[in-house]
Amino acid sequence: MLEFTALKKDRRKFLALTGLTLREFKVLLPPFTMAYQRQLASDKTLAGRPRQRALGGGRRGVLDSMEQKLLFILVYQKTYPLQVVQGDLFGMSQAAANQWVHRLLPILQAALTELGVMPERQGPAFAQAERGRPEAADYIIDGTERRRQRPKSPEKQVLHYSGKQKTHSDKNLVVVNTRSKRVGYLGPTQPGKTHDKKMADDEHIRYPPHTRLDKDTGFQGYEPPGTETHQPKKSRAGKT
């Protein structure tokens, strides 16, 4: 079973399973704890019923510390296993893993929002959200693609089939600051067939003044106002 007290001693494995260093984990822990305590009413159970015992009474749970709760939801977000696998990793049933996932995801989102690291989700609001950031306005834009289960509907199969990846997929557009590696913008989920440039045009992203924007050939012709775009050229050596 995965336990925080043992896992923290192996920093490489900790990073691989959570996506965070131990130092970053400790920065996230206080706002996560406060968000959890705000949601947990002292006079009611997690199911919303009146308590029969005092808060903390009764059988000791598997996720018996805030570190273990945060580890649970970070491992789920980073590795995205089947819930039966997630339950096995933390010594609980699939049903219990499902309940904890739905309970802790909103708390993790609230904690990340409080730390100010959640990406902007509205394209026109991106420039305003980036105002006051210490990093230079130096970004890279790209489309991320991930596999999904093949839809049953033939129409949806065509819509989600990515010729580039040769599989059915979903896509999102991301804008990342090249200096801090921070994801500043995350666009809505689109079918895998959608072209990168079309996604960027449809999302109407507004950039901070004097933005330097790196892009690949999937964004050929994408020249948002107020930006200096850079696109690498393919080497001619491979064509000879």
Specify the pLDDT at position 159: 86
Does the pTM exceed 0.95?
A: no
Residue pLDDT, tens place only, 196-228: 999 999 999 999 999 999 999 999 999 999 899
Specify the pLDDT at position 226: 87
| Whether the Cβ atoms of residue 218 and residue 196 lie closer than 8 Å to each other | yes
Q: What are phi and psi of 229, to 5 degrees?
A: -95, 150
Residue ranges per structural domain of the chain: 4-52+62-115, 123-232
Residue 130 has pLDDT above 60, yes or no: yes
Residue pLDDT, tens place only, 160-176: 888 777 889 899 999 99
Residue pLDDT, tens place only, 146-163: 888 888 888 888 888 887
pLDDT band at 233 (very low <50, low <70, confident <90, very high): confident
